[in-house]
Amino acid sequence: MVQAVRRGREQRRAARAAPLAPDERPIWPGMAGGRYKPLGDGDIVRIHRAALDVLAEIGLSDAPPSGVEVLTRAGAQLRGDGRITFPPALVEDTIARAGRHFVLHGQHPRHDLEPWGTKVHFGTAGAAVHMVSAEGGHYRDSTVKDLYDIARTVDALEHVHFFQRSVVCRDIADPFEMDFNTCYASVAGTAKHVGTSWGEPAYMSASLEMLHLIAGGEDKWRARPFVSQSNCFVVPPLKFAPESCRCLEMAVRAGMPVFLVSAGQAGATSPAALAGALVQEIAECLAGLVYVNAVQQGAPAIFGPFCFISDLRTGAMSGGSGEQALLSAAAAQVAQFYDLTCGTPSGMTDSKLPDAQSGYEKACNHALVGNAGANLIYEAGGMMASLLGFSLEQLVIDNDIIGATQRTIRGIEVNDEAISLDVIRETCLGGPGHFLGHRQTLRLMQREYVYPAVADRSSPKEWSENGSRNIVQRAQRKVHDTLASHYPSHIPAGIDEAIRARFPVRLPAAAMRAPA
């Protein structure tokens, strides 16, 4: 009898774990946030005006010659000290004419994202140099195989909506080969939208040729570009990064969306005052927006204020802090003021392992930044040690955290049916006195509620009977099962063979298929 009850319970749990049809899911990519507002309307206007003053009076240095040419032709001014300044009218005209409401495509349309307004999406990002072993806390250099494994894990996770390159392929020494293989491993590992970067424009050419092959031609790539360029075009405070700027120009001309990342660190490379840090990051991103539109009017660009935080006791980055959540949420508000697609970070725990610290830091940040309505939330899965490490176990735990956060973003629907007066009357006056078996409960148990994949909700007795495993151990099992079974095949074998024949692919083909 006990075994039959247990089998029935396990079958019900398996049914709940099975994928739901899109119209039956309680949460989905692109739900509207925007309920949390750390800035008042007047605060946003003051920050905007201060950013205009920074651009007009201080400007940015170190633009490459090609950047000087396109920016001054658009109306920026080159001062005698070499700094580029931006008249307020130029900036505001650019904001008005900038590309907006553009789709970020996946290799399959089911993964297409609409990141505008207050629609919220979560994804990975970063350039971690280590993989973290959850068992024993061992840190080792990350490899191209790790990057591919992360991508295919993301491909299988419901609540991680896009994949940004997460680790550096430290087993590839040549910079060109590293950039090419980073792009290759990412697009081979997931059909979701991918973001990556290149160190030199020349390095991009081979990757673009590969992307055209995968898309079925350059025209099809330009119609549905499924890779965006993450571009740190600026070195805070207020200096252009020449190599990155040249990559920006190439990406725009190639039809690739550009993620304009300005990553100042409050108290170090941006002011310690949070409002001042935000002003500088907004000014730098506005300069990047002018740059993109000077190259091609209306080109798709993601407004990316990455307002990082310092622990001022040491000067080290503090990615899991409450201040980080405040600044990322505020950055989303400013982007909404401009009606621009916003990318900002959340989930960059300072903890070195998946533990209580990583859980509370990630949950606090995701809840605030998600409910602020940030369109693209980067660094949201797997990051450890203030972006220095990546953990696959943490990634699947983060999938649960993101799912719970998305449920808070959806909010509570209030209508006649949801008010439930008839259900309460029926249950209390003529029914069993509880709602567990009510038809409304059964109808809503999937559409209204989100269930975690690795978090445990069993009783202590059940938990003990099932081996007393903690969340990291359950995440290890989830990672093992995913990597043993999920081998994406969205790139046809013939296309992959053509890529391998033409380019220096360093990811073994055997690593991309299940063992015989």
Strand, helix or coil for residue 260: strand
Q: Compute how many other C-beta atoms are within 10 angstroms of the C-beta atom of residue 375.
A: 26
User: Topology of domain 96-410, per CATH?
Assistant: TIM Barrel (3.20.20)
Output the pLDDT for position 135. Answer: 78
Q: Which amino acid is at 64?
A: P
| Domain spans, the chain | 96-410
Extract the residue ranges of the chain whose pLDDT is less than 50: none
**What are the structure tokens assigned to 232, written together?**
């740190």
Taking the model in full, what pTM does it have? 0.95
Question: How many whole angstroms from its chain centre is CA 159?
Answer: 11
Check residue 2 and give its pLDDT: 54
What pLDDT score was predicted for residue 49? 98
Query: For residue 22, what pLDDT is reported?
Result: 76
Q: Give the pLDDT confidence score for residue 375 in this predicted structure.
A: 98
What is residue 24's predicted lDDT score, i.e. its pLDDT? 83
Residue 362 tokens read as 């990630």
Name the residue among 302, 320, 303 with its Cα closest to residue 311. 320
What does residue 29 show for φ and ψ, rounded to 5 degrees?
A: -60, 140
Listed as own residue / partner, the contacts of 231-234 with beta carbons closer than 8 Å and 24 or more positions apart are 231/197, 231/258, 231/259, 231/260, 231/261, 231/288, 232/197, 232/261, 232/262, 232/263, 233/260, 233/261, 233/262, 233/288, 233/291, 234/60, 234/262, 234/284, 234/287, 234/288
The two structure tokens encoding residue 90: 């130029």
Full 3-state SS string of 322-366: HHHHHHHHHHHHHHHHHCCCEEEECCCCCCCCCCHHHHHHHHHHH
pLDDT tens by residue, 424-481 = 999 999 889 999 999 999 999 999 999 999 999 999 999 999 999 999 999 999 999 9
- Burial grade of 365 (CB within 10 A; 0-12, 13-18, 19 or more): buried
Asked if 328 contacts 261 with a C-beta cutoff of 8 angstroms, the reply is: no
